[in-house]
Amino acid sequence: MVSRNFFRFNTTNIISAETDNEDILDEAVEWCDRYELLFSRVDPASELFRLNSAEGRPTAVDAELAAFIETALSYCREVDGLFDVTMGSATQLWNFKDCMIPARDDVAAALRHVDYRGVIVNDAVVTLRDPLACVDLGGIAKGYIADGILALLRERGVEHALVNLGGNVAVMGGKPDGAPWRVGVRRPLPSSSMPLLDSFAVLALRDGSAVTSGIYERAFEQDGKLYHHILDPRTGFPAETDLLSATVVAQSSLDADGYTTALIMMGADRALAFAEQHPALEAVLVTTEGDVLATSGIGDRVLFELLG
């Protein structure tokens, strides 16, 4: 196994693969550079930045970006807007690093420009019906990218690989020795307060992806109230929920990534029912009371091991 550790998408990433040709890993890292130039909301050189700056004019964009936006919109529809790719106007108001809370009037004004139904994709031309709308793909892009990296490695003849994009984990082929990959489900505590490898459960995966969202990262407390980065499209403020974290297991990392934040906003009962009924998903949920909930198929599709 050979690996590459690198910083992209504002996080630390790892790609590991069984190969004698390390150029393949360098090619995978270069793919990540390309995706940043497609999907970044803040990079003035990116295709998405250009779309958001078009003030509602129909904009010809890279065909892959247009197709991905169309795909992301399908997730918005499936969860009735609990995930909304036009949250950019609201998310850009928040500064979790410096613990800054935006004024309620500013959030209310930004919410008037949040509505995924106003994004129109026609082949490689994208139109934002609201000139002040802002598409933000950060809640789903890493899943798409992880799937793309595995597809690239597979095309290059790699049979065993692991991709970890800042906690968004996707694997294929199991380990070279025949064992499954073991993916830890992290304790729902900030990275700053615990070792990165501190997990409360292990998922054993040969092929597939596991993605966790939680209200404990990129969060701060002020006047006794927790403010976290999972913003509710209905309010523009951190979601009020009885879930600390949601881990989604799926064959595709896009599916795993595409549903995690919506499950957090659904709350425990609705989230468990949604994941239970969805044929592509399994889920592990941790409630604010410390209970661990899991879909009935989690032991059939993966080995789920609770640690002591």
Annotate 10-56 with three-state secondary structure: CEEEEEEECCCCCHHHHHHHHHHHHHHHHHCCCCCCCHHHHHHCCCC
- Determine whether the annotation assigns residue 257 to a binding site: yes
The answer to whether 139 is a known ligand-binding residue is yes
Structure tokens at 110: 């930004």
The set of residues, in sequence order, having a beta carbon less than 8 Å from that of 285 and lying 6+ positions away, is 243, 245, 246, 247, 263, 268, 271, 272, 292, 293, 294
Instruction: Determine the residue type at 71.
Output: T
Sheet of strand 59-60: strand arrangement? 59-60, 125-128, 119-122
Tokens (6 digits) for 49: 């930045």
98 is in an annotated binding site: no
Contact assessment for residue 183 and residue 219, using Cβ atoms and an 8 Å cutoff? no
Token pair belonging to 287: 């409630």
Residue positions forming the annotated binding site for Mg(2+): 139, 257, 261
